[in-house]
Every structure is written in structure tokens, then in C-alpha cells.
Chain A
Amino acid sequence: MIPKTTASAAATRPTMIEFREVQKYYGDYHALRGITATIRAGEFFSLLGPSGCGKTTLLRTIAGFEDISSGAVLIDGKDMSNVPANRRPTNMVFQSYAIFPHLSVAENVGFGLRRDPRSKAEKAKAVEEALEMVGLKGYGPRAAHAMSGGQRQRVALARALILKPKVLLLDEPMSALDKKIREQMQVELMKLQRELGITFVLVTHDQEEALIMSDRIAVMFDGEIAQLADPETLYRHPDSRRVADFIGVMNFLPATVTGESGAGVSLDVAGLGRLDVAPDQVAATRTGGEPAVGFRPETLTLLYEGQPAAAHEAAGIIDEVVYYGDMTYYDVRLDGVDKPVRISMRNVFGRPVLDVGTRTRIGWAPGALVLFR
């Protein structure tokens, strides 16, 4: 994995985009419910959420394609209320790429240079450089509609970046690509972003993609930002059960609160027994539902016969085995719990994959638990 910018370096950066209480109604439908957030300069920022959560609408308010009902969107300190899309310092890579079919690749990339004062030859050189940057050197004279999906995306990227925008907006750019090309593009986009230092705002419904690429992620549900944090915080310390459920796999076990003090919360958890969690293991958002502890599949370990006992152990029966090659997922029904929990184990040479129905022990660490209530 390519190391991302460290959190401390990112925090000192100036603000590039600021949302102030942004509201958006489509008739009676409340699409954006008071979004307040800032995106920092040079940051790779993702808007993540299920379809219909308002992430694309929010992106389009930056581009200027969507009027907001109230509130303000500021780019580089300037209020964009009366600035039309064609005068904003942003450029967009559309979900459909929107490559003009009547123009060649070079004409597409050079589309935005019409009023550029440079000479024709200089512009042609800039187009060639932009194409080279996205790995399409020499493709200029080709017909745009003859390009493949991945190539179209590169054309769209070159066409946007040639204008040196302050912010590059990406609307689900990878959703139409197949897995291999998508993974390749993810890495290339991250490299490009770091080299250029431009603020990237990515809209995606793919939590994995958001985790891989972003410096920070805003998780959105129902027109609101549920949590805004860096990928690791989102993964390890989700604010709510909904965020936890949306990002990665999270197991939940019902819990009863038996005591609470400044040092943490004492719990009685089904299948795991009595335990204590520290204050930073308690999810910030209280939803008022039945308390539950959540944990990721990789925080549990399947203990093989003969392995020494772990500090914390539970027993259960293997309910389902999903073999992934490098990994195996085990769904284990813990004693006293109906719903199985998912455990992921790296497959190591010489260690057999266990069968369904096998009685097993699992080891767990109390520090990896998150309490939702």
C-alpha cells in the first residue's frame, strides 16, 4: 500500500472547500440536510455512502451544477453562490466520462483551452503532455468514441487536469471499470494526486475504494454526514453502528451494561462474558438502541487444537466456511448466541482449513471491541 499523507501534516493545511449549513430540497425531498464540513487544500477527500445519500448532489454543489436551497459553499475562501459552473476553479471527471463523441482525443483534451492565450503549437504541446501524464501518449488523433472505458476515463482526467483546477471532482469514476483496471486506476490516481498536489474530491459507494485512496472520508447517510475522519479512525472507531456496518464487516453481539465509571464501561456480552471497555471504545453517537459490542473479523483468532490458551477465550461451532485463497472466513456460532460471528484467518502453509461443524475455540482482545448504544 502506498503511504498516505500523515494526519499531522494534513491538519495544518489551509481550507480549500467549506460547506456552511448546506441545505438542498428537490420539491419536498430533503436531499442535503445541513452539511457543514471543510476539505483541506491538497487533500484526497472522499464522499462515501449508499446510493441516494446525497453524496453526488454535494459534489455537484461544488461544481456548480446544483443550486443550494440555503447555506453556502466556499472554494478557496470565496463564496460560490453566484458563480456559474464555467467560472469555478473546479473540473470534473463525470461518471459517464462525458467524452465528446464528435471530437478526437486531442480535441477533447484541449476543449477547455479555447480562451487560453497561448499559441496553437503551445496548446498542442500542453495537450500532448496531458495525454502523456495519463499514459495515453500518441493517442491524440484517435476518435474519442473508439476508446475503451479505461482509456475514456484517462481522456476525461487529462481534459480536466490540463486546466490546472484548484479542485478535481471525481463522480464515481471507477464504477464502470472492471476490477483489474479499477485497482490500477486507483493507484494511478493516488500517485497523480500526490504529484500534482491538487485537492481531489471523490464520490464513491465503494467503501474499499474510499479506504484505499482517501486522506479523509465523509460517510453520508440520508443527506447528512454521519462521520468525517481518516480511514483508520473510521475503520477502528466508527461513531455509529450504521457507519460501522457500512465500512467493512462488523460483527455485533448484544451486551448489557452492568456498570459505568470514568475508567470505562463494564459489560456482560453474550458469548464473550463479562468485560470492560475503555472510554475511547464507546461510539460517539448514541442511537438509543439495544447496546451491542462490535468487532472486526480480523480481531478474532481461531485457536487450533493444541494451541496455548489465549487471555480471553470463547467457544463455539463453525457454521460456515468461505475460502478465498489467501484468506478463509469462518462463521462461528458462539455458545449462547444465535447469530454467528465472522472471523477472518490468513491461510498459512501447513494449517488446514477447518470443516463446518467443527467445535472450536476463539481468542479475542477486549481492546478491539467497540460499544454501540
Chain B
Amino acid sequence: MAGPVKTRWTRTEAFNGYLMISPTLIYALLMLAAPLVMIVAYSFFKDGYLTVIHEFTTENYVQAWSDPIFRAILLRSVWVSVLVTAVTVGLAFPVAYFISFVLPAQKKSLWLFLITIPFWTSYLIRVFQWKVILSYNGVINSVLTGLGIVDHPLQMLNSVGAIAVTLAHSYAPFAILPIFVSLEKIDRSFLEAGQDLGESRFMTFWRVTLPLAMPGVIGAVMIVFIPTIGDYVTPELIGGGKLPMVANMIQQNMLKIDNKPLGSAIAVSAMLVVAAIALLFLMLNRRFLRGPKG
């Protein structure tokens, strides 16, 4: 057909790009952005009995932050998440290092596959397994009392330590994989160069391997820290409901007490605290994150 050459918009690359991401985009807008906007909006509404009064107020935030219980629970959530993150990433690094540096190339994918095996069972069941392992009559206590190492079974459940162990196990693959990827990218001649320039294996690790693996470590910290602070199942099952974390408090306000505005204010507050901590962490480590254009 003769006439001016005009590419139809539906044929452009941009259109195709949007087309490809549109299912995800629509999903994200409907399921993430919209609820988020709603929560933020609710947090500034007044609570009536069984209803929400659509009037602007900051009272919910005042109420939340002046409540010592909320502050204690938030602090505990942060503390548990920091602990879990430290334990998880601390244990994940040697595993990732072993897979990347020690194993021969043909065995690496098998090991990565083995690491994902815990994901074959549901999160709930994995958490419950830890309850079986750690409980008063559980696996560890049976062995310890059976061997006569302890007289009375140890009280391990309902503690921050038990919550940390359970969460660390759940998030281990999320920490191992990004660290593994960043270790894989390190040119092995860098390690030889480090030794060639007079540094021992350990100092080469400290001065070369670790700084180059930092983007992966930072990624692992983010991936573990952010979801654990909002974890709901583990404190409920392993903590026995006696050590609630911030998610349990939100659930209580939203569903049990039916104070949606206060629950929303707590949720937004927790979100901001997580964001602030995450940004601070990224700021402190920004020198490791400079891109190759520097």
C-alpha cells in the first residue's frame, strides 16, 4: 500500500515491552499497590465501633508510638530479624563459598538443587517440624535425656533463639543463592594475583574475595531481613504466641480487636522502620555497590 510510512504504535518495541510485562504489572497494581494505598489511607482514618469513620486523623500513630507494648514488640521484631539475618547470612556464606570455590564445576548444580529441597514441603510444615525437634518431648530433648546428658528436658521453644533457628533454616537458600552468584562472578585469577602480591590465602580472602562478594552478601541481608521482620507464622507456632512480633500485633488489631486504623498505622510504622534500617544498611555499604561505570 502506497502512502507515508508510519509505524503503528502496536508494532513498536515499547508497546511489545509493555505487553510483555502487563500481566505482572496489572497484578502488582491490583494486589500490591492498591492494598498498600488502602492501608496508608486507613491509617489516617478514625476508628468507630465496628466501622471506620472516614475522617483524617494522626491519632492512630500517636496511639501506636505512645504504647510501650508496641515499642517493645517492634524492638523485638527488629532484634529477632537482625539476629536471624546475622545467623542466616553467616551460615550461608561458607556454604556458598564451598559450592563456588571448592566443588568441581560439574557438581555445583547438584548441590544447588539439594539446597532447594527444603522448599519441597510447605513453609508451615517446615516451621512445625522445628516445633517437633525443639519441643519439651521433642527430638533433641529425647536424645539428651536418653543419653543422660541432662536430667530434665530443656525448655527451648517459646524463645527468641528458637524463633531465630527456625527462621534461619527457612531463609537459608535465599541467602545462599545471591552469595553464590556473586562468588561465581569472581575471576579466579584475582585470588592468584592476591597471593602473587604477597598476601596469604586468608588475607587474599579478606582483601579480594570478600569485598567482591559484598553485593551478594548485601542482597542476602536484604532478602532475609525484610521478610523476617514481618513474619507471622513462626512467632505464633515456635514462640507459642508468648513472643509476638509486629505481624502478630497487626493481625490482632486488624482481625481480633477490629481496629483497622490502628492496625494500619502499626503496619505503616513497621514498614517505615524496615525501610529506614534497610536504607541505612545500604548507605553504609554503598562503596561495595558501585556499578562497573563507577
Contacts and interface: CB of A to CB of B under 8 A. Distances in A.
Interface of A: 63-65, 84-87, 90-92, 94-96, 98, 100-102, 111-112, 114-115, 143, 145-146, 159-160, 163
B212 interface: yes
Contact of B292 (A85, A101, A112): A101
A111 B197 contact: yes
B196 A96 contact: no
16 contacts: A64-B195, A84-B195, A85-B192, A85-B195, A87-B198, A90-B196, A96-B187, A98-B193, A100-B190, A100-B212, A101-B292, A102-B288, A143-B294, A146-B293, A159-B197, A163-B197
Nearest to A92: B196
Nearest to A145: B292
A112 B294 contact: no
B195 to A, nearest CB: 4
A233 to B, nearest CB: 33
Given A86-B198, A101-B212, A112-B198, A94 B193 contact: yes
B217 to A, nearest CB: 13
Max chain B CB contacts within 10 Å: which of A63, A102, A114, A115? A102
Interface string B196-220: 1111100100011001100000000
- Which 3 pairs between the two chains have the least Cβ-Cβ distance? A112-B197, A98-B193, A143-B294
Contacts of A100: 190, 193, 208, 212
Contacts of A95: 189
Nearest to B186: A101
Contacts of B207: 111, 114
Contacts of A92: 192-193, 196
Contact of B197 (A84, A91, A102): A91
B189 A115 contact: no
B211 A86 contact: no
Contacts of B198: 86-87, 112, 114-115, 163
Interface in B246-274: none
Interface in B161-200: 187, 189-190, 192-200
A92 B194 CA distance: 11
Contacts, number: 65
Contact of A146 (B189, B212, B294): B294
B294 A86 contact: no
A146 to B, nearest CB: 6
Interface string B212-254: 1000000000000000000000000000000000000000000
A349 to B, nearest CB: 50
Given A91-B197, A159-B197, A102 B212 contact: yes
A98 B189 contact: yes
Contacts of A87: 198
B196 A85 contact: yes
B132 to A, nearest CB: 45
A95 B211 CA distance: 23
Contact of B196 (A63, A101, A114, A143): A63
Nearest to B212: A102
B181 to A, nearest CB: 16
Contacts of B212: 100-102
Q: Which of B189, B192, B193 is the most central at the interface, judged by chain A CB atoms within 10 Å of its CB?
A: B193
A102 B194 CA distance: 13
Contacts of B192: 63, 65, 85, 92, 94, 98
A168 to B, nearest CB: 11
Contacts of B288: 102
Contacts of A84: 195, 200
A280 B256 CA distance: 104
A94 B211 contact: no
A239 to B, nearest CB: 34
A212 to B, nearest CB: 26
